[in-house]
């Protein structure tokens, strides 16, 4: 390849990379601002917003609330989604296509529409602001992501391995446990991750069904930013950024080590 | 391990049929396989040979008929309870397990604990000459190595019956020929009944005690390789097993003699036929010889033709002779025989007793995949 075109390509890639990462990076210096303002660049350095995040009960309670909802949602959505994906995969009838489309709808219906519907039902059933309410709503939103992730790994799974396992003496359950499951685990794990993030990130439905007793982190961020320009939001953003980077980095590291096996 | 002679299971299929809607995959197939026998199911794709194997393995339920393995009916018995080893064309090794764990899998399921399990895995891997590969993953092995591991996994639990579904189909010719000999050796050492599916007639001849030739869901003929080659009962078998030349003509009987009109010549037959019958004459390449036109002699049948193709094979030559009625004959000759060039006018010479007379069968036309 000619040298100039290579340099041009490199510059373009760099530009795209900066464009993708810049909004996230900008938040980091903002979180160390010494004044109560979201100005960029910040005028001085301080740790006070981090301190505020960990000491202010409003913030820590919302973080705990979010984690609880997201963990329970991820577990439920992963179990339901995996079973659904498996069932759809093994269904011989043409109904499976219709069912799949039906199960995916929460992903394509506008969030506000769902939120209004959920809110209306929750008002009558006293589910507003409850853990059960959040988990039910978020599980519904997360199941499609699990179905898609698990279906993708079932797609490439060689079903003939189950036949082979049967010939070697495995019941259908044993074959699933020892052969199918270990081979689709990557899909299930990515479904789990998607489900967790879907719930942890969710704001629209949460805004409708939140209450002073149960607030999720996105709701807290939103209300904080609408009330006053509190750089604690930037501190939260930075913490989330670092945490997710570490998780993804660890995932990549484990993945590459398995690849070398 | 029991002694070889008692280890194989007999298989008895009686009038087994399998329908998929209106499609008949198996049509009243009856087949008896002796304990310890090497039986090959041979046929083109879609002939029912693999369906038969799947029925024996328990992967496919029969629509009607009876199936006994080792003297007991296995109709309705699920595959995992049949204790039958199966080797697949696509290896079907578990990619997330090492070679050792793959081979140990059926033993673990049978609750065989470790000193014993390890010893049996080692023994099975030794038998297929893969003992040094126990810690590898299937993805790190070649196709031939993977298939040997799959074979070890299918025999490690001492099944009385081993089914193989085109196990060498995905391998190249050299490797295939070597593995055929390996499979033969393992069959001899184990004494297990082997049922082997292939569409490769040469492979069937190399391996088998007996061969069942399948066509359109039925068995055309069951016999040793020699029987199928020398005494084909149907035109399909004659064409499928070995090279053959097919000549067609109407029979005319006069007294004790029957002759067939082929390409304008009267050809004497060894068998008596009714006047006007239209049989097919099947000739094996080594039963045919060539002579320059008019030098064929009088005591044998001669048919005039022209050399259409001459192929040098190293060990001899192969000729395609075009006869007057445009039918083609395949002739194989040895190195010391007279050689011919394309376009040479020749006589096709053969003895009446070497020609097989068979009923014409339009189903005998098949295509190989």
Interface test with B, best of A156, A158, A164 (most B CBs within 10 A): A164
Q: Rounded to an integer, what distance in angstroms lies between the CA atom of residue A252 and that of residue A257?
A: 9
Contacts of A165 (CB under 8 A, 6+ apart): A174, A175, A178, A179, B94, B105
Task: Specify the range with the lowest mean pLDDT, choosing from A21-35, B180-194, B253-267, B346-360.
Answer: B253-267
Q: Is some CB atom of chain B closer than 8 A to the CB atom of A168?
A: yes
Q: Is A110 exposed, middle or buried (0-12, 13-18, 19+ CB in 10 A)?
A: exposed
Question: Which B residues, 86 through 105, put their C-beta within 8 Å of a C-beta on chain A?
Answer: 86, 88, 90, 92, 94-96, 105
CA distance A196 to chain B (A): 27
pLDDT higher than 70, residue A257: no
Of A160, A168, A183, nearest to B105 by CB-CB distance is: A168
Q: Which of B201, B243, B168, B195 is nearest to B40 (CA)?
A: B195
Convert the pLDDT of each residue in B105-146 to its tens digit.
999 999 998 889 999 999 999 988 899 999 999 999 998 899
The reported pLDDT for the residue numbered A29 is 86
Contact call for residues B121 and B62 (beta carbons, < 8 A): no
Please, what are the domains in chain B?
4-240 (3.40.50.300), 245-356 (2.40.50.100)
Q: Is some CB atom of chain A closer than 8 A to the CB atom of B152?
A: no
Q: What is the residue extent of each domain of chain A?
A: 62-230
Q: Which residues pair with B221 in a beta bridge?
A: B213
Q: Which residues pair with A181 in a beta bridge?
A: none
- What's the order of all strands across the beta sheet hosting B210-215? B85-87, B161-165, B193-198, B38-42, B210-215, B218-223
* B358: enclosing H helix or E strand: strand B356-359
- Number of Cβ within 10 Å of residue A187's Cβ equals 22
Interface predicted TM-score of the whole assembly (ipTM), two decimals: 0.80
A169: nearest CA in chain B?
Answer: B80
Convert the pLDDT of each residue in A65-112 to its tens digit.
999 999 999 999 999 999 999 999 988 778 888 999 999 999 889 989
Q: Is some CB atom of chain A closer than 8 A to the CB atom of B157?
A: yes
The reported pLDDT for the residue numbered B209 is 94
Convert the pLDDT of each residue in B203-242 to its tens digit.
999 999 999 999 999 999 999 999 999 888 888 998 888 8
Task: Band the pLDDT of B1: cuts 50, 70, 90.
Answer: very low
* Range A115-134 average pLDDT: 91
Look at strands B279-283 and B245-248 and give their pairing. Answer: antiparallel
Dihedral of the alpha carbons of A117, A121, A126, A131, in degrees to the nearest 10: -50
Task: Band the pLDDT of B69: cuts 50, 70, 90.
Answer: very high
Q: Angle B74-B76-B80 (CA atoms, 0-180°, nearest 5)?
A: 75
DSSP A183-201: HHHHHHHHHHHHHHHHHHH
Query: Greater confidence, A247 or B190?
Result: B190
Q: Rounded to an integer, what distance in angstroms lies between the CA atom of residue A134 and that of residue A66?
A: 10
B253 CA to centre of own chain: 37
Instruction: Say whether pTM exceeds 0.95.
Output: no
Q: What are phi and psi of B51, to 5 degrees?
A: -60, -40
The reported pLDDT for the residue numbered A67 is 93
Hey, which of A34-38, A135-139, A250-254, B6-10 has the most confident mean pLDDT? A135-139
Q: Is B6 helix (H, G, I), strand (E, B) or coil?
A: helix
One CATH from 3.20.20.70, 1.10.3720.10, 3.90.480.20, 3.40.190.10 for A62-230 = 1.10.3720.10
Task: Give me chain A's average pLDDT, please.
Answer: 88
Q: Rounded to an integer, what distance in angstroms lies between the CA atom of residue A7 and that of residue A22?
A: 22
* Cα separation values, A210 from A70, A128, A173, Å: 15, 6, 41
Q: Is A124 helix (H, G, I), strand (E, B) or coil?
A: helix
Q: Which residues pair with B322 in a beta bridge?
A: B306, B328
What count of CB pairs under 8 Å joins A to B? 57
* A214: enclosing H helix or E strand: none
Q: Is B59 in contact with A166 (Cβ distance < 8 A)?
A: yes
- Number of Cβ within 10 Å of residue A114's Cβ equals 18
A173: nearest CA in chain B?
Answer: B80
Convert the pLDDT of each residue in B304-334 to its tens digit.
889 988 888 888 888 889 988 888 888 888 8
The alpha carbons of chain B give a radius of gyration, in whole angstroms, of 25
Q: Is A164 in contact with B109 (Cβ distance < 8 A)?
A: no
Contact call for residues B133 and B149 (beta carbons, < 8 A): yes
Q: Rounded to an integer, what distance in angstroms lies between the CA atom of residue B125 and that of residue B232?
A: 40
């Amino acid at each position: 390849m000619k040298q100039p075109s290579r340099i041009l390509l490199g510059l373009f890639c760099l530009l795209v990379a900066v464009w993708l990462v810049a909004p996230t990076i900008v938040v980091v210096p903002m979180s160390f601002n010494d004044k109560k303002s979201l100005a960029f660049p910040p005028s001085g350095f301080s740790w006070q917003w981090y301190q505020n995040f960990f000491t202010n009960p409003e913030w820590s309670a919302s973080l705990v609330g979010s984690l609880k909802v997201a963990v329970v949602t991820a577990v439920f959505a992963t179990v339901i989604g995996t079973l659904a994906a498996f069932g759809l995969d093994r269904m011989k009838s043409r109904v499976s296509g219709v069912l799949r489309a039906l199960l995916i709808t929460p992903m394509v219906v506008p969030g506000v529409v769902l939120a209004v519907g959920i809110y209306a039902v929750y008002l009558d059933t006293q589910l507003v602001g409850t853990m059960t309410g959040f988990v039910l709503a978020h599980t519904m939103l997360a199941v499609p992501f699990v179905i898609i992730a698990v279906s993708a790994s079932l797609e490439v799974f060689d079903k003939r391995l189950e036949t082979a396992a049967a010939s070697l003496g495995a019941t259908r359950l044993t074959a699933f446990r020892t052969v199918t499951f270990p081979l689709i685990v990557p899909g299930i794990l990515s479904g789990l991750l998607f489900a967790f993030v879907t719930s942890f990130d969710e704001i629209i439905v949460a805004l409708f069904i939140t209450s002073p007793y149960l607030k999720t982190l996105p709701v807290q961020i939103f209300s904080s930013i609408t009330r006053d320009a509190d750089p604690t939001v930037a501190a939260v953003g930075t913490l989330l950024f670092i945490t997710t980077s570490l998780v993804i980095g660890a995932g990549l590291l484990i993945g590459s080590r398995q690849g070398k096996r | 391990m029991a002694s070889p002679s008692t280890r194989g299971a007999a298989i008895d299929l009686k009038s087994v049929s399998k329908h998929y809607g209106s499609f008949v995959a198996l049509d009243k197939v009856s087949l008896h396989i002796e304990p310890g026998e090497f039986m090959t199911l041979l046929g083109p794709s879609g002939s029912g040979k693999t369906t038969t194997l799947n029925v024996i393995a328990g992967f496919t339920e029969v629509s009607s008929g009876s199936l006994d393995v080792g003297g007991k009916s296995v109709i309705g018995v699920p595959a995992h309870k049949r204790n039958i080893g199966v080797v697949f064309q696509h290896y079907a090794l578990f990619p997330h397990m090492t070679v050792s764990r793959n081979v140990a899998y059926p033993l673990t399921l049978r609750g065989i604990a470790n000193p014993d399990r390890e010893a049996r895995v080692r023994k099975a891997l030794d038998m297929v000459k893969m003992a040094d590969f126990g810690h590898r993953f299937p993805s790190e092995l070649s196709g031939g190595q993977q298939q040997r591991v799959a074979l070890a996994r299918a025999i490690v639990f001492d099944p009385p019956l081993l089914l193989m579904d085109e196990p060498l189909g995905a391998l190249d010719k050299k490797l295939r020929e070597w593995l055929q000999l390996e499979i033969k050796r393992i069959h001899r050492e184990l004494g297990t009944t082997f049922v082997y599916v292939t569409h490769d007639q040469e492979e069937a001849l190399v391996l088998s005690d007996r061969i069942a030739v399948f066509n359109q869901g039925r068995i055309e003929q069951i016999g040793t390789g020699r029987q199928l080659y020398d005494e084909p009962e149907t035109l399909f078998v004659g064409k499928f097993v070995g090279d053959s030349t097919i000549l067609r003509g109407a029979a005319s009987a006069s007294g004790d003699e029957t002759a067939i009109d082929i390409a304008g010549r009267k050809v004497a037959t060894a068998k008596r036929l009714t006047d006007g019958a239209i049989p097919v004459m099947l000739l094996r390449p080594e039963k045919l010889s060539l002579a320059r036109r008019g030098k064929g002699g009088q005591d044998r049948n001669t048919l005039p033709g022209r050399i259409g193709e001459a192929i040098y094979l190293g060990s001899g030559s192969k000729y395609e002779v075009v006869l007057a009625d445009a039918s083609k004959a395949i002739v194989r000759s040895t190195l010391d025989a007279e050689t011919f060039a394309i376009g040479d006018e020749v006589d096709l010479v053969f003895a009446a007793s070497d020609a097989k007379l068979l009923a014409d069968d339009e189903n005998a036309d098949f295509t190989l995949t």
